[in-house]
Amino acid sequence: MAAAAAAVRGPDPGSVALEVEGVSVSYGQFVAVESATFSVGAGECVAVIGPNGHGKSSMVTAIAGLVRRGGTVRVFGTTLPVGEPRAAVRAGLVLVPERRHLYPQLTTRDNIMLGGYSRTRRVWAHQAWAEVASVLDMFPELAPLLDQKAGTLSGGQQQMVALARGMAARPKILMLDEPCLGLAEAVTHRVYDWLGAMAATDMTIVLVEENPVHALRVCHRAVRMYRGLVEQAEREPESERPAAELP
């Protein structure tokens, strides 16, 4: 619980949590992300917005070490090696990926428990579960589903499992890639209620969202991606400025 509290308290306000310098991602000849540079302060909630297919997901998966990249990523001053997602997780950078990528034949309990894989270092599954079970306080709707296979859950329930798995790692920086993609409106509201609560803590959040209206409801500012390039944007309430006018 001490570590969980630390995650919520966060590091010193004003310090830089995530530094991205000149990050580029290519798939063969296609350049998905071109020299992306931005930083996120500790405790900030930053949205990465932009149209589909313009490099948002490629950038966050590259930051998380899941695809090969150029450039530098630092988490609280520590440079992450290229292509090593374990190092990112151990540094406290956790990604909740687009389309969730759960383990469909494993139970909800196992899915959440494995979120703490890099942290708990336990031999027995029941001991590891005991160390992460407190995440159910944030997602009480999952309690009756713990022994159900994740592949049999609804899309909304699966998204809750993906969020709980991310939180089981006790992240210092939580990156969420399109967490509401394909979900019903009611579930989207539930996810954003939870995100709003997290954004009000000192946790650092990077939220990839195609819809800037949704994103800026909880985030302090936005980073816009267009054709693989990063632009910066200050927060403006969506009621005062149409989403299409965001830079």
Partner 1 sequence: MSQFLNLLAAGLTSGAIYGIFGACLAVWFRVCNVLNLAVGDFAMLGAIGTAELVQLDHFPFVAGIAVDLLAVGIVAWLFDRLVLHFAFDRRAGGHGIVSVFFYTFGLSLVIEGGARALFGTDVHSAPAIWSGPALTFADLHVQRAGVLVIALAVVSGLVLWAYLHFTVSGRAASACGESVLGSRIVGIDSALFRRRIFVMTAVLAALFGIVESPLTGFTYQSGPTISLIGVVAAGFAAFRRPGRAVVVGLVLGIAEAMLGGYVSTEYNDVLLYAILFVILIVQPEILGLGAVPA
123 touches partner 1 by CB under 8 A: yes
- Residue of 46, 80, 135, 169 that binds partner 1 (CB under 8 A): 169
94 touches partner 1 by CB under 8 A: yes
**Nearest distance from C-beta of residue 45 to partner 1, angstroms:** 20
Which of positions 9-68 make contact with partner 1 (CB under 8 A)? Answer: 64, 66
Instruction: List, in order, residues 6 or more apart from 95 with CB less than 8 Å away.
Output: 60, 61, 63, 64, 66, 88, 166, 175, 176, 177
106 touches partner 1 by CB under 8 A: yes
115 touches partner 1 by CB under 8 A: yes
151 touches partner 1 by CB under 8 A: yes
Instruction: List, in order, residues 6 or more apart from 90 with CB less than 8 Å away.
Output: 118
- Residue of 15, 105, 154, 232 that binds partner 1 (CB under 8 A): 105
Contact 142, 95 (CB under 8 A): no
Rounded Cα gap, residues 25 and 90, in angstroms: 23
Identity of residue 162: A
| Closest C-alpha to 47, from 221, 245, 184 | 221
Using the minimum distance from each CB to partner 1, give the nearer residue, 93 or 195.
Answer: 93
Binding site for partner 1 (CB under 8 A): 64, 66, 85-86, 89-90, 94-95, 97, 100-106, 110, 113-118, 120, 122-126, 128, 151, 165, 169
